C-alpha cells in the first residue's frame, strides 16, 4: 500500500541548537556536537564530500551493500520494519529496500527536514508498494512511540555510514543500548563501521583537495550566524582534521586564526590564536574492537561483511544469540 504524504513527527528546535552552542562555547576545551552540521546546506556539502576521491567510506560501503544486500535482507527478514537512523539523502538505502517484501515498512529518521522529505519522496516513487513513515528527529533522543504501531513486525535498525564513530566508545555503548530497547526482543541492527587503516589514508579522507570538508566544517559557524544571530568572522576560523592514533579517531576542529571573540545571546567568548572548537570525532574500529563494543551493549554478532582491502565493515547484530554466525567477504 502506498503511504500518505510524509509528515515529520518532530522537528529539532532552535532552542536546542542555541543551548548546545552556548554550552559548548562555555566549556573547556570548546566543542559543539556534530549533529548541527546538518542543516540543508550542510547536508548538501556532505553529499559532495561523499563523491570526492579521498573519501573512501561511501563508495566502499556501497560496494559491500551492492554485493551482499540480498543476503542482508534475508537475514533481517524481508517483511520487517526497517528503521534508518540519520537517513540523509538515503543513497545506499535502495540497496536494501530493493530486496524487501512489499509488506515491509521503512522508517527514515533524520534531523534535517528538507533532506528527509526529499529522500522519502524519491524512495516512495521508486518503491510505491512499501509503506514509509518519515520521522524528523534527533535519533539520540528518539521517541520510540512513533513506530510502536509496527511492533508486530520484526524491527531492524539500519545505521550505515559509520556514524556510530561520531560517538565516544562510552556514548556508542549507550546508543547501542537505546537501539536495543527500540527494536525489542528479536530485533536487529545492520550497521556500517569504518575500520582502522593508515594515517595517510584517514587524513586525506577528511581534508579533500576540493575543500568540501572544510566548507562543511565552517558551515556550522554560518548556521550560528544566520539562525542564532552570532557575531563572528567565519573566515578567521580554519578547518583542521587529523587522525589521533592514541584515541583511534579522526578529530575535526575549527581553529581560530587570530585573537578574536564570538558574541552570542549577550555573551562574549574570547579565543586566542590557535584555540579551537572541537566539532567532530570519527572513531575507527577493527572488526574485533567493534564486536566487543556491541557485546557490552547486549548485542550478538550474526554476520560481518567487508571489502577486499578491509577498509570498512558492515555488521549484522541481533538481540537473539541463536541465529547462525556468518563471516563474509
222-274 pLDDT per residue, tens: 999 999 999 999 999 999 999 999 999 999 999 999 999 999 999 999 999 99
Domain ranges within the chain, ordered by starting residue: 1-229+285-329
Return the higher-pLDDT residue of 327 and 312.
312
Nearest to 140 by CA among 187, 107, 178, 192: 178
Please state, as a whole number, how many other Cβ atoms lie within 10 Å of the Cβ of residue 134: 26
- Using an 8 Å Cβ cutoff, are 104 and 78 in contact? yes
Q: Is 280 helix (H, G, I), strand (E, B) or coil?
A: strand
pLDDT at 10 over 50: no
Q: Write out pLDDT tens, residues 292-308.
A: 999 999 999 999 999 99
Grid coordinates given for 324? 547462525
Over the range 101-116, which residues count as b (16 or more CB within 10 Å of their CB) and which as e?
eeebbbbbbbbbbebb
- The residues, any chain, with a CB within 8 Å of residue 162's CB and separated by 6 or more, are 57, 61, 192, 193, 194, 282, 312
| Range in 41-50, 144-153, 165-174, 189-198 with the lowest mean pLDDT | 144-153
Q: Which fold has domain 1-229+285-329?
A: Rossmann fold (3.40.50)
> Which pLDDT does position 15 carry in this prediction?
80
Amino acid at each position: 500500500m502506498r503511504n500518505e504524504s510524509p509528515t515529520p513527527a518532530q522537528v529539532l528546535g532552535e532552542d536546542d541548537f542555541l543551548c548546545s552552542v552556548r554550552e559548548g562555547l562555555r566549556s573547556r576545551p570548546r566543542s559543539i556536537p556534530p549533529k548541527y552540521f546538518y542543516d540543508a546546506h550542510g547536508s548538501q556539502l556532505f553529499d559532495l564530500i561523499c563523491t570526492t576521491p579521498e573519501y573512501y567510506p561511501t563508495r566502499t560501503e556501497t560496494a559491500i551493500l551492492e554485493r551482499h544486500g540480498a543476503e542482508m535482507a534475508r537475514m533481517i527478514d524481508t517483511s520487517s520494519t526497517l528503521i534508518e537512523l540519520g537517513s540523509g539523502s538515503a543513497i545506499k538505502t535502495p540497496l536494501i529496500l530493493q530486496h524487501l517484501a512489499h509488506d515491509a515498512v521503512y522508517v527514515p529518521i533524520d534531523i534535517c527536514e528538507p533532506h528527509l522529505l526529499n529522500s522519502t519522496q524519491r524512495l516512495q516513487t521508486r518503491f510505491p508498494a512499501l509503506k514509509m513513515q518519515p520521522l524528523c528527529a534527533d535519533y539520540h533522543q528518539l521517541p520510540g512511540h512513533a513506530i510502536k504501531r509496527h511492533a508486530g513486525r520484526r524491527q531492524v535498525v539500519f545505521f550505515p555510514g559509520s556514524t556510530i564513530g561520531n560517538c565516544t566508545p562510552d556514548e556508542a555503548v549507550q546508543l547501542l543500548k537505546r537501539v536495543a530497547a527500540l527494536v525489542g526482543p528479536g530485533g536487529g541492527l545492520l550497521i556500517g563501521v569504518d575500520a582502522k587503516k593508515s594515517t595517510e589514508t584517514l587524513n586525506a579522507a577528511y581534508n579533500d583537495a576540493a575543500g568540501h570538508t572544510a566548507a562543511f566544517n565552517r558551515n556550522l559557524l554560518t548556521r550560528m550566524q544566520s539562525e542564532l544571530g552570532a557575531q563572528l568572522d567565519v573566515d578567521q576560523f580554519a578547518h583542521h582534521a587529523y587522525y589521533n592514533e592514541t584515541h583511534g579517531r579522526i578529530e575535526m576542529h575549527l581553529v581560530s586564526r587570530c585573537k578574536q571573540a564570538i558574541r552570542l545571546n549577550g555573551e562574549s567568548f574570547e579565543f586566542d590564536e590557535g584555540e579551537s572548537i572541537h566539532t567532530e570525532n570519527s572513531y575507527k574500529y577493527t572488526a574485533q574492537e567493534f564486536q566487543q563494543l556491541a557485546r557490552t551493549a547486549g548485542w550478538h554478532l550474526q554476520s560481518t561483511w567487508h571489502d577486499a582491502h578491509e577498509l570498512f565493515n558492515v555488521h549484522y547484530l541481533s538481540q537473539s544469540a541463536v541465529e547462525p554466525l556468518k563471516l563474509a567477504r
